[in-house]
Structure 1
Amino acid sequence: MHGLHSFLLFYVLACLGQQALGSEIINGNKAPENTLLYMASLQVNGRHNCGGFLVSKDFVMTAAHCDGNSVVLGAHNLRGNQKIVRGIARKYRYPGYDSVGNGKDIMLLKLSKEVQLGNRMQLAKLPRSAVNVKDNQKCRVAGWGYTRTGNGAPNDLRMVDVSIINQQVCRRRWGRLPANIICAGGYGTNKGFCQGDSGGPLECNGIVVGIVSFNRNAICDYPDFPNGYTDISKYLPWINQILRSKD
């Protein structure tokens, strides 16, 4: 019975590549204007689809399962006038990515033109080596996703505090996990992310350590399963290679 349970959970996880698109923050608050200045909205024909974050003047990081043809930066309110829109010159999905259920859910987007950093736009701070997040450590996640299952997405950026969940607890609950995953929120609490937050940042102590990847079956208003994030530190050689390339 346990084997069947694990298989079914993995099947649900593997299907999240489509269901997780367009994820929102559950039981969070509106982000203050002077915070999270690295946030990006990955959009399809002018509509928010996924989150992301600025990692250089011409690159945004997001989840590999996300889709879009433009990026909005420099705005907490997506309908506001103070925003920068960039096209996407090239998408770099991590080699070997095929589904959320198999991990490697990370992508870099080359912007059509560099952005100017300043009071409304800053770079996310990435880890420089392997991350050692601690159980129950307080972090935060942000995005423009649903505020509850099936609800409409907000225009204002929202954020919420989440706690890191022990890997053994996370694996036991899911039955099977992709490689290189950080678990935080969504289990034993009513806080976490939802559809439309995919690709957004998990920030711990000022460092963006994870990328919003999956929840269970696109359901957000329950505490039964941990939320999953791609562990950025496991992909640093590839990230640095892409950011330094002249292509």
Structure 2
Amino acid sequence: MYYKTCTKQNKDSNVPLICETPTNAIIIYYSVSRFLVILGDYRTNRKERTEQLFKLRRVYVHPRYNRRRVTNDLAILKLAGKVRYTKTVKRVRLAKPGQNFVGSTCIISGWGATRGGGPTSNILQFTRVTVITSRRCQRSYDDIFGRVICFLSNDRGSGICDGDSGGPAVCHGVLAGVTSFGVDDCLTHYPSVYTRVSYYNKYIRQRL
């Protein structure tokens, strides 16, 4: 599994955040108030005057999230402040319930490693991928449900990797998925599995 950043927490804002390793084995105890959300960032190792920093007001973890099976892999971060929309910080529409993207070319992005076992990137990376059917995805992963959306890289040399979890998959200007998991070593000929936003549209909107 890909490395999960500290974005999952129980309902009570005073309980610990859960940070998962590739073996899903580590829990680190910190309060939500210890973390910041940064918008508008491009290079993580320098300030660019485009960043907006926010504390977290609350984190909603799906009540049926299952770490072992990696199902309902979704968390919503509620910011303690108002976002200022700019050239580098923009809204994205949520996929509508039932919206199907099979065959679409989409863009995925993140600061994850650029090779299996390598360090994470300081510069935001992106690549194009194609949405495949659930049946095709099941050839690589037996335990696949309709709550996920699967992608194959259009470029054999690129795809999601360690550190990309929670990142977006945008199709035709719509948020179609949120990075969930893939295979070890970041092999790009295996599908990348994302939480399907269209399935959780109502759940997300109820907490915005």
- Please classify the TM superposition score into its range, dividing by the shorter chain length: 0.7 to 0.9
Amino acid at match of 1:70: L
| Aligned counterpart for 1:130 among listed residues 73, 98, 115 | 98
Cα distance in 2 for partners of 1:204, 1:100 equals: 29
Specify the alignment match of 1:103 in structure 2. 71
- 1:71 matched to 2:40: no
Cα distance in 1 for partners of 2:19, 2:133 equals: 25
Q: TM-score, normalised by structure 2?
A: 0.79
Cα distance in 2 for partners of 1:146, 1:188 equals: 16
Distance 1:154 1:188, change over 3 A: closer
Q: CA deviation at 1:181?
A: 0.9
Cα distance in 1 for partners of 2:117, 2:73 equals: 24
| Aligned counterpart for 1:236 among listed residues 184, 189, 201 | 201
Specify the alignment match of 2:3 in structure 1. 20
Distance 1:187 1:206, change over 3 A: closer
Cα distance in 2 for partners of 1:99, 1:228 equals: 15
| Aligned counterpart for 1:202 among listed residues 153, 158, 169 | 169
The C-alpha deviation readout for 1:199-222, integer Å capped at 9, x for no partner, is 011111111100010011x32145
Q: Secondary structure at the match of 1:211?
A: strand
Q: CA deviation at 1:21?
A: 2.0
Structure with more of its chain in helix, by fraction: 1
| Aligned counterpart for 1:88 among listed residues 56, 59, 64 | 56
Would you say how many aligned residue pairs link Structure 1 and Structure 2?
A: 185
Specify the alignment match of 1:140 in structure 2. 107
Q: CA deviation at 1:145?
A: 0.5
Q: Say whether the 8 Å CA contact 1:211–1:230 is kept in structure 2.
A: yes
Q: Say whether the 8 Å CA contact 2:132–2:150 is kept in structure 1.
A: yes
Distance 1:187 1:157, change over 3 A: closer
Q: CA deviation at 1:128?
A: 2.8
Q: CA deviation at 1:232?
A: 0.4
- 1:185 matched to 2:152: yes
Q: Say whether the 8 Å CA contact 1:102–1:179 is kept in structure 2.
A: no
The C-alpha deviation readout for 1:117-154, integer Å capped at 9, x for no partner, is 1222111221233221123x211100000000111112
Q: CA deviation at 1:80?
A: 2.8
Specify the alignment match of 1:113 in structure 2. 81
Identity level (%): 28
Cα distance in 1 for partners of 2:89, 2:155 equals: 35
Unpaired stretches in structure 1, ≥5 consecutive residues: 1-15, 23-43, 51-63
Q: Which has the higher contact order (CA 8 A, sep 6+)?
A: 1
Q: Secondary structure at the match of 2:199?
A: helix
Cα distance in 2 for partners of 1:92, 1:173 equals: 30
Unpaired stretches in structure 2, ≥5 consecutive residues: 9-17, 21-27
Specify the alignment match of 1:149 in structure 2. 116
Q: Say whether the 8 Å CA contact 2:134–2:146 is kept in structure 1.
A: no
Q: Say whether the 8 Å CA contact 2:54–2:79 is kept in structure 1.
A: yes
Distance 1:89 1:21, change over 3 A: same
Q: TM-score, normalised by structure 1?
A: 0.67
Q: CA deviation at 1:188?
A: 9.4
Q: Say whether the 8 Å CA contact 2:108–2:167 is kept in structure 1.
A: yes
Q: Secondary structure at the match of 1:242?
A: coil
Cα distance in 1 for partners of 2:111, 2:136 equals: 28
